Structure 1
Amino acid sequence: MGLFTQIVMFVLIISILVILHELGHFLPAKYFKTKVEKFYLFFDVKFSLIKKKIGETEYGIGWLPLGGYVKIAGMIDESMDTEQMAKDPEPWEFRSKPAWQRLIIMLGGVTVNFLLAWLIYSALLFNNGDTYIPADSLKYGIQVDSVGEKLGLRTGDQILAVDGKRTKKFNEATLGIILGDEVTVKRDGQEMTIPLSDEGKAEVFATQGRNFMTYRTKARLLEIVENSAASKAGLQAGDEIVGINGEPVQYVQEFMQVVGSSPNKELTISYKRDGRVQQTSLVVPEEGKIGVYLDFDDLRVTEEYGFFEAIPAGFSRSIQVLTDQVKQFKVIFNTSTGAYKQVKGPIGIVEMMPESWNWTFFWNFMAMFSVWLAFLNVLPIPALDGGHVMFLLYEMISGRKPSEKVLETGQIIGFVILMGLMAVVFGNDIWNIIKKFL
């Protein structure tokens, strides 16, 4: 059931984004009286699953779930309809329209994607507020593993800034460290700036960034599992663990490490309840878990937003996501980091979906992916919207249209580039699955 939910969530998100993106091309095309021959969700190579012609446009769903398209008459696109282009231009064709109208049509998709993200982020901020862990005021600093140490970080550091920019949120600081060049920390009362090496980042990407850096918090119990070792020992929600076997324990990570490494061993646990320190004993089960949920949320803060505050804040969030994605490209194309090996395709993205339905995740992921589609499509690669925009800008600046031969060649080159990138992405997905069984 979990996998089914993941697939449904992913397909629904992609379908909504594709339809809205193509609608961004469709509406201005119709407004400028340009004929739209097809409007498709997914690609209908050889055949379609569903199709219906309404007016001059055929609407349908293809069988190949790799996006979607609108086929605009008189335009060299992925259909490579050279037969139509060999005829004399008609007034309702794309190629007959002024360059500024064609530019608006081509920018419509990415514009809708960005506006959608802005709308979603604004609505989420207005409805839910913004809950986060503050990065620059963590009470107990950060906790790093051996991978984090290779980046130059140390347990107890206070993160102050990444690339000279103050880091407000812990999750943004974590992403910033992965994508940035240097981090400023407070260590033992001293501020210092640490360069982030490509070798250290390679270690982070090799482990997919799992727990190379977390925040430290007191070992406070949030919930006790019924009939568990902890329950039988008398531990209660709200207890704060302060020691094990006479040794002091301050933080969640220390507590988890000791318990996890003590299967079948008896532990004497000291805990604080109602201001008094008490003790109890228990035997850790074989699986190294005693049946407690720990409170990781005691450092969280929530900022509330009114309607008119949420709108500019949603715009800023969209710009921040876009900026982070541009930085990701920089890291991915730096082969020494190995980040390209972790690029995820549809299979990898499905695995990121929660196994039970989560509307907050759904809308957050849709907004993030909408910005990603806008950024990807605006790249100046022929076969993408950005490629068409590139040729249109050349025409508007030079006053000369590129020849149809140039446009056709560019389309073919762009298609080959995209197919190559897709092969790499799908290859990564398949290889990551294979590695799980090796």
Structure 2
Amino acid sequence: METLIMVGQLLLGLSILVGVHEWGHMVAAKSFGMRVEKFSIGFPPKIWGRQIGETEYSIGAIPLGGFVKITGMIDESLDTKSLSDEPEPYEFRAKPAWQRLIVMMGGIIVNVIVGIIIFISLAFVNGEEYLPSEELNKNGIVAYDLGEQLGFQTGDRVIAINGKDYERFSDLLSPDLLLGSDNYYTALRDGQEIRVDMPNDFIDKFADKRNRVNIISPRLPSVIGQLEPGGNAENAGLKTGDRILAVNDKPIGYHDEIRPILQKYPSQEVQVMIERGSERKDLTVSVGEEGTIGFYPAFELTYVTREFTFGEAISEGTYNAFAVVWLNIKGFQKMIAGDVDVRKSLSGPIRIATFFGGTWDWNNFWRIVGLLSMVLAFMNFLPIPALDGGHVVFLTWEIVTGRKPSDKFLENSQKVGMVILLSLMAFVIINDTISLF
């Protein structure tokens, strides 16, 4: 069921994004009097179609893109049969270069607008919830394997990033930081300030989704927040709100100190000292085979919720939308510099589906769709033939020089671009498949 939900969200998200992208091209073309022959969401074979006026609207069986067929334009269909004739007034090639440029930019512009609207809406409806750095540093952090490789230790209090104060716990592993260079933290350890450097290739390790929960987290007190129904802790008499003071006479101050002790006694019994109100009790608790007793810690840290007025949401949402583009640019720079493994950085449809998750959460769905809308705009703007950006380059050349590239040149460029895009698509699909195992 989780897989079906992920696939369903992916298909719906792609359909929305491809639909608005191609709609942007079509509206721009029709506004300049160009004939639009086909508008398709998905690639052939066609599973549904309807002729309305001069345009056939259809849905293709392969939901990994879409297209608009504009008369007189050399596109991915490579339909050049009519190009030897004199152009008709309604053809793409008969229009001024500046109009053709607007048509090719139409999809990108609409994707940017949609992405901005989504991010503004999310900011206005949901606001922003975050853990302030002051709350984080009450107890410090828990450093897991990858966090320790970075140089952190459990109990560290992170007081600065690149020598400057920070506001949120999420700032410690923000995309902007991960994609930057020569970054470092300042941590307080045993009363001494220490420097923790982030390697420039750290994003490669972070790109593995299994490592994202294996770096650092806020350190929590040893207070029971929730008991597993019928679990060993509940059966032994532990209750929500109890503070664990010791396990087998070993003092406990924080939740992360409990499990390493329990894992030494799988399928055995341990003595647990708790504090409940003003009294203390010793309880005998059975440990499971995995080294757990069946409870979750209380999250005794206070999150801050910031609500935005509509005007503030416009500013915040627009900033967040264009931050996606900036991060993509920095990511490309990292790949070119060799700091990032391309195999870990490029995502295809399989990996994108996992971003949506196995439960249908509309907030998460629209956040991913907004992000993908900005990514789609950025990727389409790349100067690769067969992408909108390739057409933009040729049209800009025509406007600046007054010389139009020959139809043969455009046709061959389109072929080269299609080979590049199909090769890239095959690479990301194979790479996604390998990453599942």
TM-score, scaled relative to structure 2: 0.89
Equivalent in 231, 235, 257 of residue 254 of structure 1: 257
**d(CA) in 2 for partners of 1:277, 1:103:** 76
Partner in structure 1 of residue 131 of structure 2: 133
Partner in structure 1 of residue 56 of structure 2: 58
**d(CA) in 2 for partners of 1:117, 1:48:** 28
- 1:214 paired to 2:212: no
Q: CA deviation at 1:300?
A: 2.4
Equivalent in 374, 383, 392 of residue 380 of structure 1: 383
Distance 1:35 1:101, change over 3 A: same
Give the secondary structure class of the aligned counterpart of 2:379. helix
Q: CA deviation at 1:199?
A: 5.7
Confirm or deny: 8 A CA contact 2:220 2:297 kept in the other structure: no
More displaced stretch, 310-319 vs 141-150: 141-150
Distance 1:414 1:86, change over 3 A: same
Partner in structure 2 of residue 281 of structure 1: 284
Confirm or deny: 8 A CA contact 1:135 1:173 kept in the other structure: no
Identity of counterpart residues, as a percentage? 39
Q: Deviations over 1:276-304 (max 9, x none)?
A: 55443311122433222334473422111
- 1:318 paired to 2:321: yes
**d(CA) in 2 for partners of 1:297, 1:131:** 16
Q: CA deviation at 1:77?
A: 0.9
Partner in structure 2 of residue 94 of structure 1: 92
Q: CA deviation at 1:54?
A: 0.7
Partner in structure 1 of residue 427 of structure 2: 424
Q: Deviations over 1:150-198 (max 9, x none)?
A: 3344434444565677654333431444322212323335656544325
Partner in structure 1 of residue 198 of structure 2: 196
Partner in structure 2 of residue 8 of structure 1: 8
Give the secondary structure class of the aligned counterpart of 1:124. helix
Distance 1:50 1:103, change over 3 A: same
* Matching residue's letter, 2:431: N
Q: CA deviation at 1:275?
A: 6.0
Distance 1:301 1:258, change over 3 A: farther
Q: CA deviation at 1:312?
A: 0.9
Partner in structure 2 of residue 291 of structure 1: 294
**d(CA) in 2 for partners of 1:297, 1:311:** 33
Alignment of 1:32-71 (within 5 A): 32-44=32-44, 47-71=45-69
Give the secondary structure class of the aligned counterpart of 2:136. coil
Confirm or deny: 8 A CA contact 2:187 2:196 kept in the other structure: no
**d(CA) in 2 for partners of 1:232, 1:123:** 47
Q: CA deviation at 1:265?
A: 2.6
Give the secondary structure class of the aligned counterpart of 1:319. helix
Partner in structure 1 of residue 145 of structure 2: 146
More displaced stretch, 70-79 vs 250-259: 250-259
Confirm or deny: 8 A CA contact 2:135 2:301 kept in the other structure: no
Give the secondary structure class of the aligned counterpart of 1:138. helix
* Matching residue's letter, 2:187: K
Alignment of 1:293-308 (within 5 A): 293-296=296-299, 298-308=301-311
Distance 1:153 1:260, change over 3 A: same
**d(CA) in 2 for partners of 1:160, 1:398:** 55
Distance 1:317 1:206, change over 3 A: closer
Confirm or deny: 8 A CA contact 1:25 1:70 kept in the other structure: yes
Partner in structure 2 of residue 27 of structure 1: 27
- 1:84 paired to 2:82: yes
**d(CA) in 2 for partners of 1:274, 1:76:** 77
Q: Deviations over 1:48-95 (max 9, x none)?
A: 111111111111011122211111111111011111222211211112
Give the secondary structure class of the aligned counterpart of 2:211. coil
Alpha-carbon RMSD:
2.6
Give the secondary structure class of the aligned counterpart of 2:65. strand
**d(CA) in 1 for partners of 2:342, 2:222:** 34
Distance 1:265 1:61, change over 3 A: same
- 1:357 paired to 2:360: yes
- 1:402 paired to 2:401: no
Q: Deviations over 1:213-247 (max 9, x none)?
A: 33323343332122111111222223343432232
Q: CA deviation at 1:363?
A: 1.1
TM-score, scaled relative to structure 1: 0.89
Q: CA deviation at 1:390?
A: 1.4
* Matching residue's letter, 2:40: Y
Confirm or deny: 8 A CA contact 2:112 2:373 kept in the other structure: yes
Confirm or deny: 8 A CA contact 1:205 1:337 kept in the other structure: no
Confirm or deny: 8 A CA contact 1:268 1:279 kept in the other structure: yes
Q: CA deviation at 1:17?
A: 1.0
Confirm or deny: 8 A CA contact 1:136 1:159 kept in the other structure: no
**d(CA) in 2 for partners of 1:414, 1:27:** 25
Q: CA deviation at 1:206?
A: 5.4
Distance 1:187 1:426, change over 3 A: same
**d(CA) in 1 for partners of 2:265, 2:337:** 42
Give the secondary structure class of the aligned counterpart of 1:92. coil
Equivalent in 374, 377, 383 of residue 371 of structure 1: 374
**d(CA) in 1 for partners of 2:261, 2:153:** 20
**d(CA) in 2 for partners of 1:217, 1:339:** 37
Distance 1:269 1:305, change over 3 A: farther
Structure 1, unpaired ranges of 5+: none
Confirm or deny: 8 A CA contact 1:383 1:415 kept in the other structure: yes
**d(CA) in 1 for partners of 2:265, 2:180:** 38
Give the secondary structure class of the aligned counterpart of 1:69. strand
Confirm or deny: 8 A CA contact 1:130 1:304 kept in the other structure: yes
**d(CA) in 2 for partners of 1:89, 1:97:** 9
Confirm or deny: 8 A CA contact 1:180 1:196 kept in the other structure: no
**d(CA) in 1 for partners of 2:278, 2:88:** 84
Structure 2, unpaired ranges of 5+: none
Q: CA deviation at 1:274?
A: 3.5
